[in-house]
Structure 1
């Protein structure tokens, strides 16, 4: 049991570290190839900051523990709303930007309702996972096109673009991209192994472990970014961070178990966890 707990702790630390390196390398590489910062922010950084959840969901599904990945996605969203926004509000009052109310929040709400309708019968199949990913790419395409064609400031795009690192040589970018990717894979595998063993040792479900320990751990990068934004007097960026993260968790992370290990979801997902996240 001690080895499993150590695997969770070390896995989480390496997961957070490698996620940052992966985002830095991938973003710098894309920038060196002439990709605009807006596109990098909404795509490379968006997927990169959700890489811990995506990798964990992937390995969990590959090991036939899809409930761990689903719990991670839903639990991370709950942590983003309750923990991250709560901590941010304690540091500085949050004034919601009008564009967030008119654009970003409705998009997130629509995506949440769409995901809920897909899994309403309790099944997460390959076609449903594919549908979630298609919606994600459609939203990203629309957001990029809208942001490029308007002079208005998109909070979610600004928040993600703000995470793009400074100038980096192409060789260094490739190096950190590869190092980050390899360590991401290893640490995610380590975390899933430890989490499954702890769940079995304490007699709790993979879903519960995913909702709690794994979800909070993989939300730490978003928490750090939101605290930094609040300290700089930019709480609206923290909101953009949460909205972007929740969108990727719903449409990318939750799609992975459906694509790799289609299964019937535990009843608690529909009767307890998803309604709690939506509320």
Structure 2
């Protein structure tokens, strides 16, 4: 396969992700309001989970299909870097004052918990690099700890989000009259499926670029795959801004970092064992 064709495929997969992510943001906002979950919690659970599916699909398929764990890890950590850049881009696009002034304590908690989980993951990398004592274990203890912290973080975010909900805030939210909750859930599910399919395609493209360009797998994962798999966060966040939902946008981006470390690294570890 020629290098030109690989780059065209990369662009095609990215376009699929961008297209589907626009529907993710709108449907997630409808679900958040009509179910009473709130935008903060919905941003983490619905938007962040769905937009992180490319990292999950790319990570697992990179290990299972292509035996490239460096590609999986590089994509997860690299996506976190691109996600943080998205917040800066959102601030430039918002132009109604600093966008971080519009977020609640829940968003701050999501960011802090993300820093905690990333710190644990980095410590795990250093420990595994410095010693071989845990090499014979089926799954890294750090992955288990990270996953448990991730679950605890979801509970904390839910509790904080519920406490901050107020009638005044709810009265300012769009009611989405005439928009069916069932239809929104269906659109959300279909858009997520498109994102997952494009993610597996990205894994194949990344492996092809690794061999065709002669680059190290971790470099490709960090630079190209990380950027492409962060496109859902980029598209969904800007879509959330367009419907005047900055809280949904910020928690979606920060929640994606939380999901990347808390869930995807564990799944990658399990896939590596398999």
Fold shared, TM-score > 0.5 on shorter chain: yes
Asked if structure 1 preserves the Cα contact closer than 8 Å seen for 2:240 and 2:249, the reply is yes
Residue 80 of structure 2: which of 58, 77, 82 is its match? 77
Supply the distance in 2 between the matched residues of 1:175 and 1:233 (Cα, whole angstroms): 23
Residue 98 of structure 2: which of 94, 99, 124 is its match? 94
Find out whether 1:168 has 2:180 as its counterpart: yes
What secondary structure is seen at the aligned counterpart in 2 of 1:8? helix
Residue 132 of structure 1: which of 118, 142, 146 is its match? 146
What is the TM-score with the length of structure 1 in the denominator?
0.71
1:276 aligned residue: none
Deviations 1:27-63 (A, max 9, x none): 878998x674465443233311211222211211222
Supply the distance in 2 between the matched residues of 1:102 and 1:190 (Cα, whole angstroms): 34
Q: How many pairs were matched up?
A: 252
1:17 aligned residue: 19
2:251 aligned residue: 240
What secondary structure is seen at the aligned counterpart in 2 of 1:261? helix
Residue 207 of structure 2: which of 196, 202, 214 is its match? 196
Supply the distance in 1 between the matched residues of 2:117 and 2:238 (Cα, whole angstroms): 26
Supply the distance in 1 between the matched residues of 2:24 and 2:242 (Cα, whole angstroms): 25
Residue 113 of structure 1: which of 96, 100, 119 is its match? 119
Supply the distance in 1 between the matched residues of 2:227 and 2:15 (Cα, whole angstroms): 12
Runs of 5+ consecutive residues of structure 2 not aligned to the other structure: 130-134, 168-172
Judge which range, 186-195 or 3-12, deviates more: 3-12
In 2 relative to 1, CA 235–145 (structure 1 residues): closer, same or farther, beyond 3 Å? closer
Displacement of 1:259: 1.9
In 2 relative to 1, CA 100–41 (structure 1 residues): closer, same or farther, beyond 3 Å? closer
What is the TM-score with the length of structure 2 in the denominator?
0.72
Deviations 1:240-275 (A, max 9, x none): 343222222222233332121159xxxxxxxxxxxx
Supply the distance in 2 between the matched residues of 1:75 and 1:113 (Cα, whole angstroms): 15
CA RMSD of aligned residues (A): 3.9
